[in-house]
Each structure stands twice: as C-alpha cells, then as structure tokens.
Chain A
C-alpha cells in the first residue's frame, strides 16, 4: 500500500536544500508549479465547516468540491456565482449540499492562496519512485510556512522511508497528512463554534414583566441580527428567521399583556406588528419561488410555459418588494420603531414588585392548552378554514411558551409534551401553507393580464386548493387521535415537577 506522509520544514530549509540532501541514487525533477487560490464556501452559520466538512472553490479551474476529511465526496465545475444546491448540475453534490444547508445559500467565507511545486524523485533507472509536493503558504501569523508531502508510488515504500530519514536529519518535523482543512487552518481559517441561542437567565421568582421585557429585548436583537443578510439578499432564511423572531416577540407581548405596563404593551404591540407586516409580501413571494420547481411538476406540460413566464414576473416583483423592504429597514421610521421598542423595554414604569414569573407561565401554559382542547372539541369537518387557522395560532402560542420558557422546566417532561403536540402542529402548518399559497396565487392571477400566465396560476391555485382540502381531511384525522386527557396529564406532570408533594 502507498504511504503518504507530510513534513513541516524549518525556515532554514528550502526546496533546494531538501533536494540536495536526497539519498544517493535518487534525483529529482520538477513537474509543475501551481498557484492555488481556494475559497471556503458555507452558509451564514458555517454549517458545513462545523460538521467537519469543507465546501471548497478552486479559482483556477472553477471547481466546486465537497470534502470530508481527506475524501472528496463530490465535485463539479461551476462559476462562483452559484449559491444554492438546486443550481448545481451534479445530482450527488446537490443532494449532499441539500442535506447540509437546506435552503440556505453558500457564499465565500474565507479565501487563501498558496503555492505548490510538484516534483518527481527518480531512482538510478530513471523510474519515478516518489512524488513530492512542496507547499508554501502564509500562515495565520503571516510567517512563510513550508510543507512537504511525500507520496511514494506503490511498491516504493522502502525508498520513501529512506527519504524520510534524510529529512529527519535535516531537521524537518513530521506532521499529519495534510487535509484541505489543515492547510486552510494553517492559513488562518477560523471556523466559529456553533451559535447557541443565549439563555434568557430566567428565574422562577423574578418579576414577570421584567423577565418578559428582557426576553423581548433579546428576541428583537436576534431578529435584527438577520437584517444584514436580508439587506444583502443572501438567502430567504434571513427574512424567515427575522419574521420568526418578531412573531415570537409578538406572541410573548400578547400572552403577557396583563403583566406589562399598559403603555409599554401598546407600544410594543404596534411597533412589532408594523415591523412584521412590511415583510409579508416578500415572504409569500419567497415561499412561492422556493417551491417553483415542485409547482412545475404539478402542472401538465402545456401549462408549464405560462408558469415559467409568471415566475419571471414574480422574480421581478420580488426584487421590487425586497428593495422596498430594505429601504424600509434603512428608513428613519424603522429606526424610530426600534427606538420605541427600546424605550418601552427600558422604561422606568416597570414595577419592582409584580407576579412571579413561573406562576404566570404555568398559568399561561394551562390556559393555552385549555384553549387548544376547547378548539379541538368544537371543530367539525364543516368548520371554516379560519377556525382551523385559529387552532394553529393557539398551538403556536403554546409551542412558543414551551420553547421560550424551557429554562424553567425539566427537559424530559417538556420534551414529551412537545413531541405529543408536534404531529398536530405539523399538519396544521401544512394546511396553512396550502391556504396561504392558494390565496396568494389566486390573487396574483387576478392581477395578471397575460392569459397564459393567468391560466397556469389558476390551474396551480386549483391544485393547491385540492391539496388544501386533502390536508383538511388529514387535520381531522389527526384531531380524532388527539387525546386531551393525555396531554392535560402531561401538562400537569410538567408543572408539578419540583413542587413539594
């Protein structure tokens, strides 16, 4: 078997000194020199690097490669402008990146350059026995770093060992076989640790209003952290996360309105609502465009060109809508809204004494769960879509309560309860997605003049309506298995934990 090994050369040792110290009978000849410029691509959260993989872009040959340790999993030649897995031609690479990034974009996170000299070492028969690669790069401390990789040809391990012995004598230090990640790390690549959401540091006995204000502040901060990516229009996840955070903040404010000073409540409620609202259309357009490929497969061949045309229109509409959103984010009005939120949270109107947090959260969990059970028992197959939508909102509020106040509860019973609500929430979520997209397409079709586009969108809207009706059946099938007594007992188990019996 071949044995590849790497050596770090001291600064006193250059290529010529190494070559002049080759064991007798060996000679070397240069083969090629490469200036390598490599970029590490990843999403905003460094998801690929954090799992130990690397998505590399080689600028010399426009090659995109996915690496795992020393193994190249897949590759393809594409321009650097490609940012999403669905834009790739190679299905294997696309699938691997989909699993790692979902809908997130991969962009340049780090770029490094190094020089590689490839040489062959010959024996006295002029037969190649070993291949050498000298790599020179600027290390993170800007010092020139020289590395040598020795790759013996099969059957020539003995000669390679001889070569290694002479390198050792020269003062070279053996190092692990260099992986692309190691080379990049030496060049200064610093992969940040996974970002965990900072805890709210909640205490059972703290004043509810104080805790809620602190939580809203942190959540709004997390929403604002998405603004940069949203403005740069990197991928749709920035907007999605922005809206999710604002929704959480709004949910908290609305659930605990009685605990908050009235002026602060009103100010937060209206400011957060406005912040969310001006991104509604952009999110609808994003969702449509993300599903575009799937929608195409839903339509018969004859209606696809109309949908393609409509998509081009939607792309243009999205661009205009995004520009409006970023203009709004950069506006004085937006800054005012943020100031209002900050003022509301730091207002001295908060009373130092108030109801204890755990007690209030317990109360809301019980109440929210009761709302769900009441809705479930009253819903019938003839109920309106709005009634189902309302149930979804109640479920979401309960989920936010369990998620946001997880610090106050033991993990295990919390997990059990969350799991029991999950199937219901997922079905309700799908039903809502179909409803929103069906309505969105119906409305869009009404605004279009072109008859082909109109027909395609109407056909798609009809198909989504059918899918929505199917999903409604699924909702009732799930509701029929939803056991309120069971979940009530789970809620009680959760709240009773840690209480004196």
Chain B
C-alpha cells in the first residue's frame, strides 16, 4: 500500500482537483483506492458528492482509533474508490495534534489500520505548514506538490524545500508538478523553465490551464466523466501514471492495462 499526498503551502493551486483526478485514475486502473479529505472545506468530498459526516466534532476522535474512521468511509460512485469525507472539525487538527504532544506519526499510525483494504491512499491536504502537514510528510510515500508557474508559487516551493531540509524530511518524497500552466504567458514559460533547470525532480507532465478543471465543481465528477477528450484529462491521467510509477505502485495493474 502506498500513500500519496497532494500538498502545497499555498492555496488555490489545484491540490483538490489533482487529488480527485488521481484517485479516480488509480481506481480506474483497478487499484483499491481511498481518498482522504483532510481539508475541512471538504472540496474533494463535494466533488464526489459525498456529504460531510453528521457526528459533531468527530474529527476529535480522528487520531484515537481506527474504528470511528472506518465507520465514516463512503463508497464512491466508481468501482474501487472510497472516500473518507472531510468534517468541519478537521480545522482543529493542529490544536488536536498539539494537545497530543505534537507527534508526527499520528496520521501514519491511524492509516496503518486501514491499509490492508487499499492499494493506495490519496491525501487531499489543507494548505499551510502545520503539525498536520508534518504528519502528512511522515505518512506519505510521495508528496505531490502542484505549482502554478509564477513567482509566488516558486517562493512557496522554496519555503517547502527549506522546511524539509530543516526538519530532515527526505526531499526524495517530493513530486512537484505544474498546474494551470498557460503556454501563452511568457512568465509561466520562464518560471517553469527556471524551476525545471534548478530542480531536476520536477515531474515531466503538467496540467494546463483549463476551464474543465474549474467545471469539475459544476459537474461534481472527475474530468474524465464530462470532458473525456480534453487535454486536461489526458494530462491528469499521464501525471497519475508518472507519480504511480515513481512509487512503483500497481506495476501489475499497468502491465494488465497495457495488454
């Protein structure tokens, strides 16, 4: 079982759209997939039409034991794909983790309890560097970092690298990739080129700026369902392949698909 996080310090860079489409393609490839919506805004749950759970403050018990977590898992409309929906109480994760001693392996421990049922767990993370983020870095086998090729995004990526260095998290876990890339904008082209030159570990595939990504909110489905032939769709699929190959995930499945 592999855990892949979609994370960025910055908001609005396409974390949720990426997590939703990655989870969809993983499931389409036959991998038993769990998408965990850690962001209290619940956007990825919304995209899959899964409502927030009813119990009040259930997020308080999130790190206590696997049982309440397993109870909240919902089957999506697609084969092999389950969702652990967000809850508004998730916004208190940081203070909760702080109360529990600021440990970094709480998330890893709790996910271990559900790993036997899944081949891949995809974490849709809230922005910001926090205790939760550190738990994500400890739990994930790979951290997919979406970046808009702009100066601000470049800056936040540098901050992330510095944080990894300071806290001894292996940079090898990072899988940065460009989102909302617009080939007509010189700034995007220059920034992307500069970053690729500086950091060889940037993923080859990128997500173009596309209205279809925005329309996911209207359709409440992954792009494949309403814009199958779009470039954004094929880019998400290729990007997922690149990420899953980089963590040696589902090699059997890929070879089966290729047959």
Contacts and interface: CB of A to CB of B under 8 A. Distances in A.
Interface in A143-176: 153-156
Contacts of A2: 75
Interface in A1-18: 2
B82 interface: yes
Contacts of B76: 153
Contact of B73 (A125, A126, A155): A155
A154 B49 contact: no
Contact of A155 (B49, B75, B77, B220): B75
A127 interface: yes
Nearest to B51: A125
A155 B76 CA distance: 10
A133 to B, nearest CB: 16
Main SS class of interface, B: loop
A294 B173 CA distance: 53
Nearest to A152: B75
Nearest to B221: A126
Interface string B37-56: 00000000000111100000
A128 interface: yes
B190 to A, nearest CB: 43
B72 interface: yes
Contacts of A155: 72-75
A1 to B, nearest CB: 9
Interface residues of A, number: 10
A256 B82 CA distance: 75
B220 A154 contact: no
A126 B74 contact: no
Interface residues of B, number: 12
Contacts of A153: 74-77
Interface string B60-92: 000000000000111111000010000000000
A156 B49 contact: no
B36 to A, nearest CB: 14
B82 A154 contact: yes
Contacts of B51: 125, 127
Given A125-B49, A126-B220, A127-B50, A154 B77 contact: no
B77 A156 contact: no
Interface string A456-493: 00000000000000000000000000000000000000
A153 B50 CA distance: 12
Which of B48, B50, B75, B220: most chain A Cβ within 10 A? B75
Nearest to B72: A155
A134 to B, nearest CB: 20
Contacts of B82: 154
Contacts of A126: 49, 220
B73 A127 contact: no
Contacts of A154: 73-75, 82
Which of A120, A126, A154: most chain B Cβ within 10 A? A154
Interface in A98-125: 120, 125
A128 B74 contact: no
A127 B49 contact: yes
A155 B74 CA distance: 5
A127 B77 contact: yes
A127 B49 CA distance: 6
Nearest to B84: A155
A123 to B, nearest CB: 8
A388 B50 CA distance: 79
A153 B79 CA distance: 10
Please give me the 10 A-B residue pairs with the lowest Cβ-Cβ distance, nearest first.
Answer: A155-B74, A127-B49, A154-B75, A153-B75, A125-B49, A128-B77, A155-B73, A155-B75, A126-B49, A154-B73
Given A154-B75, A155-B72, 6 more contacts: A2-B75, A125-B49, A127-B77, A153-B74, A153-B75, A153-B76
11 contacts: A2-B75, A125-B51, A125-B220, A126-B49, A126-B220, A127-B50, A127-B77, A153-B74, A153-B76, A154-B73, A155-B75
